[in-house]
Structure 1
Amino acid sequence: MSTGTTAAAPVAARAAPVVKGSRRYWPRPKSIAGQLALLVVAAIVAAHVAAAVALFALREPWRAETRPGVAANRLAVIARLLDETAPNERDAILTAARRSVPSLRLEAWQGTPPAVESEWLRERPIIGRLRDAFGRELAIANLAPDASPEEPPVLHVGLRTPAGAQLQATLPDDALEPPKRGAIIFTFLFLATTLTLLTVWATRALTAPLAQLAGAAEAFGTSRVPLPLPRRGPDEVLALAGALDRMRARVNRLIDDRTQMLAAISHDLRTPITRLRLRAEFIDDEQARERTLRDLDQMNALVEAALAYARDERVAENRSAAEKPLIDIASLVQTVCDDYSDTGADVTMEQARHVLIRAHPEDLERAVNNLVDNAVKYAGCARLSVSKSANGVAIEVADDGPGIPEAERHAMLQPFVRGDRARNLNDASGFGLGLSIVLAIVEAHDGRLTLENRPAGGLSARIELPSSLAVPGERAARQPEVA
């Protein structure tokens, strides 16, 4: 079977010319190693930039004491120092604290805290933080019972420690801000998501030429129209694409030469066979004449089979890009069954599921004919069925014959390989082209051929065809299966 059109011009192992206006102005390594290194460095730089932005956004202000929680903690520390210090040394500590933390407005206080602290003062969050930081009983008085006119609002309070140290201070009356855990978690999630997306995008861009190259290599030999090879990507991929394109051209040229040689030899053998037949008619010995004529008939049949095989390859190649008509596959199989039944062969249709597919009816009829002919020849009967499959339609031809040994099933799909190895050409039982022609037709329709021995005995040949055929050049490679 021809694997594609005659050799196209090999693709150059370098990037295609850049169209004016789409030129890239940023450097990029041309090798896979360089691009991987660039990807890693870019990911590390992006992570550091995102971490720096998060650190800048979540940093503490320069004057941390202006924050309510920080101010309450520092006031509690000063109060504990005064509480632990002798009374004659407290003024020095208070003076030093006033210079260190001017925002608290620390002053000495000689007032008396109320016996019962006001409910309003007790409910202030900053007072609760102050008591928690001090750690012991602390008497607090509100020195400004009226609402503070300052912006932001503040509390003027007087403190008295258990040791009798007293001072007054001003605290911000803002609500205590909880730690920015949500912002930190969001920052790291955003960083992880961004780096993941960046890595996936860059990796896909790097591996896309490899995937395209793998698809073209996989489709070579099964797709009539060769898939395009990558023209942009790392130098290694472009070099491999050029080598694959040149190899594809050489293989196509060899296959075309083989097909032409086979057709030419088979055609030229017709003339000497005809001359030998005429000369054989003058042989006096009747037995020798019959044997000679039988050998010539066998040679002529072999030539005709070889010509038909070469012709089928040409026809299939020419039809591959043509528009396939919509046909009812069950009606086509029923026609083949009726033709054999009319000749007295034991061929029956057991199941007929009407499914419409796009295919060449002449080619599919030839494939089903070959399968039925093999079943009738080696088993004496054939049972056909058409059913719905997972991806389209399945045609099955089953018989009750000896089947095919598992070790020989792959070889049976090759041209000029026969299943009756013990026979010779005098039996005129075929030349081993039937299954190879079926395989070529099925692959041309993007289908799959399966040979399997039935548990009850006999062989089951199954053709699976897609209900919607792919556009030429985009179909996935499928290999024949044997069970």
Structure 2
Amino acid sequence: MRSPRLRLAALWPRSVAGQIALLIVAAMVVTHAVATLAFFTLREPWRPDDHPGVAATRIATVARLLDATAPDARDALLHAAARSLPTLRLAPWPDSAAAGTVSEALKTHSVVRRVRDGFGRPLAMADLAASETPPGIRVGIVTPAGARFSALVPDDERPPIRQGAIVVTFLFLAVALSLVTVWAARALTRPLARLAQAAEAFGTRMNVVALPENGPQEVVAVAQALDRMRARVRRLVDDRTQMLAAISHDLRTPITRLRLRAEFLEDDHTRTMTLRDLDQMNGLVETALSFVRDGQTGGEGSATLIDVASLVQTVSDAFADVGADVRVAATRHVLVRGRPEELQRAVTNLVDNAVKYGGGARLHITQAEHRVVVAVWDDGPGIPEAEREAMLQPFVRGDRARNLDTASGFGLGLSIVAAIAEAHDGRLILENRRPRGLAARLELPLAATAARPAPERMAAE
């Protein structure tokens, strides 16, 4: 025997279309139910004879007619009105009858107030007796002209419908339905948001984010397909990485043998050219291995707090020791969380490109909201805007000549920097400077702990 909750879950539609349709129908049903409840709660009786407003208007009309009629014709008019309006129990109220009392209940009675408002002038009224069938209060009425009669006022204390109450009721209905609809829509689209988050995380940092396992059928189907695609892409990337690492590693041995053989060449020019080609081949192998090692980072265990100023200064000193024009123009002591070797490799690649293509580098460290920016400036030719995105891809070089001369690289430096930045939840931005030059901005998130407060110092240019 299934529980009521399980039976209710079995009736819940599994598709997005079914859930949206159910949401719309439920909103319409609730709207009509609340509107109907408000109508029956605020409405007055449907029968005209039982309608308090109608009874009050008729009594006021009879009072006006009797007040305007000559005294000798009032009895006949009242008799005719009594026949036409039996529910009002109209009858003469002679002067000799008991005077009656004017109670507080009569003064505040809603129907009595309507009679007085309908008459338009002061109207004397007094309690005579109560009636149980039909329910009401028999009152004696004296008009300003002296016409006297009694009538049965419906004992209905319900006040007239106020437009404000109707407006407030439907305003509350609209707000409540809006809140419920927004909540239901968010609950319906939450699996889609989780699916988009997982896809975005996989596309940037290759992090494994849990895919939604429940929700509409379409979302579950897309999540399962994305999970299978993610596994295939990971296998493809792993196979490519392993193949590149194996080829690069195995090429080291034949390159070493060729270098040893080249040393015995008698022709100096041939020996020099051969050794140069072997050096470039060895550089390509080392760069490819670095790309495999640094470009596919993602380990979390080795992340530590790093002082960006110290790291940048270390890189700058290393280049300055070999005679390169590299200086730190602006620095700031801030902390980031990451892997020191990878971040040092990223800054080194940027400075190496600046020295290679711009003749020198100026490093600037600035702190923005929740992030630190390491900018490397050079005075080189820059990169055309149409080619900046491609320059972040592996084996894409900025120089037009494809021959491997001594000044060319292998197109992996910027791709390694971009991969390291993404692995640290940061990004690499390339911008041209004016009038010439390139600014490479490595943006990294600040560590959760507070950075060491140190004033920004400017190094002498």
TM class by shorter chain equals: 0.7 to 0.9
Q: CA 1:324–1:292 in structure 2 vs 1: closer, same or farther (change >3 Å)?
A: closer
The answer as to 2:33 corresponding to 1:54 is no
1:403 to 370, 377, 382: 382
In the TM superposition, residue 108 of structure 1 has moved relative to its aligned partner by: 0.7
2:363 to 384, 389, 393: 384
Pairwise mapping of residues 83-98 of structure 1 onto structure 2 (< 5 A)? 87=74, 89-96=76-83
Pairwise mapping of residues 112-123 of structure 1 onto structure 2 (< 5 A)? none
Q: Is the contact made by 2:136 and 2:152 (CA closer than 8 Å) also made in structure 1?
A: no
* SS in structure 2 of the partner of residue 282 of structure 1: coil
Pairwise mapping of residues 168-183 of structure 1 onto structure 2 (< 5 A)? 168-169=150-151, 177=159, 179-183=161-165
Pairwise mapping of residues 186-335 of structure 1 onto structure 2 (< 5 A)? 186-313=168-295, 316-317=297-298, 319=299, 321-322=300-301, 324-335=303-314
Pairwise mapping of residues 127-166 of structure 1 onto structure 2 (< 5 A)? 129-134=114-119, 140-141=123-124, 156-160=139-143, 166=148
* SS in structure 1 of the partner of residue 203 of structure 2: coil
Deviations 1:17-68 (A, max 9, x none): xxx9984634111111111111111111111111122122212258998997
In the TM superposition, residue 131 of structure 1 has moved relative to its aligned partner by: 4.6
Q: Is the contact made by 1:450 and 1:461 (CA closer than 8 Å) also made in structure 2?
A: yes
Deviations 1:247-277 (A, max 9, x none): 1111111111111111111111122222222
Match of 1:475 in 2: none
Match of 2:86 in 1: 99
The amino acid of 1:181's aligned partner reads Q
The answer as to 2:415 corresponding to 1:436 is yes
In the TM superposition, residue 348 of structure 1 has moved relative to its aligned partner by: 1.4
Match of 2:455 in 1: none
TM-score (norm 2): 0.83
The answer as to 2:57 corresponding to 1:73 is yes
Q: Is the contact made by 1:69 and 1:176 (CA closer than 8 Å) also made in structure 2?
A: no
Deviations 1:214-268 (A, max 9, x none): 1111222322422111111111111111111111111111111111111111111
Give distance in 2, aligned partners of 1:376 and 1:77: 105
What is the aligned length? 434
Q: CA 1:142–1:134 in structure 2 vs 1: closer, same or farther (change >3 Å)?
A: closer
Give distance in 1, aligned partners of 2:423 and 2:187: 32
Deviations 1:93-150 (A, max 9, x none): 2442673224xxx3213439xxxxx9x9xx9787764354235x67x445579xx999
Question: Which runs of 5 or more structure 1 residues have no equivalent in the other structure?
Answer: 1-19, 113-117, 470-483
* SS in structure 2 of the partner of residue 426 of structure 1: coil
TM-score (norm 1): 0.79
The amino acid of 2:294's aligned partner reads D
Pairwise mapping of residues 9-48 of structure 1 onto structure 2 (< 5 A)? 23=6, 25-26=8-9, 27-48=11-32
Give distance in 2, aligned partners of 1:60 and 1:327: 78
In the TM superposition, residue 347 of structure 1 has moved relative to its aligned partner by: 1.3
The amino acid of 2:83's aligned partner reads A
The amino acid of 2:86's aligned partner reads R
Q: Is the contact made by 2:309 and 2:334 (CA closer than 8 Å) also made in structure 1?
A: yes
The amino acid of 2:210's aligned partner reads P
Give distance in 1, aligned partners of 2:5 and 2:117: 66
The amino acid of 2:428's aligned partner reads L
CA RMSD in angstroms comes to 3.6
Match of 1:340 in 2: 319
The amino acid of 1:196's aligned partner reads S
Q: Is the contact made by 1:347 and 1:381 (CA closer than 8 Å) also made in structure 2?
A: yes
* SS in structure 1 of the partner of residue 149 of structure 2: strand
* SS in structure 2 of the partner of residue 203 of structure 1: helix
Give distance in 2, aligned partners of 1:410 and 1:167: 98
Give distance in 2, aligned partners of 1:60 and 1:21: 40
Q: Is the contact made by 1:68 and 1:175 (CA closer than 8 Å) also made in structure 2?
A: no
In the TM superposition, residue 285 of structure 1 has moved relative to its aligned partner by: 2.2
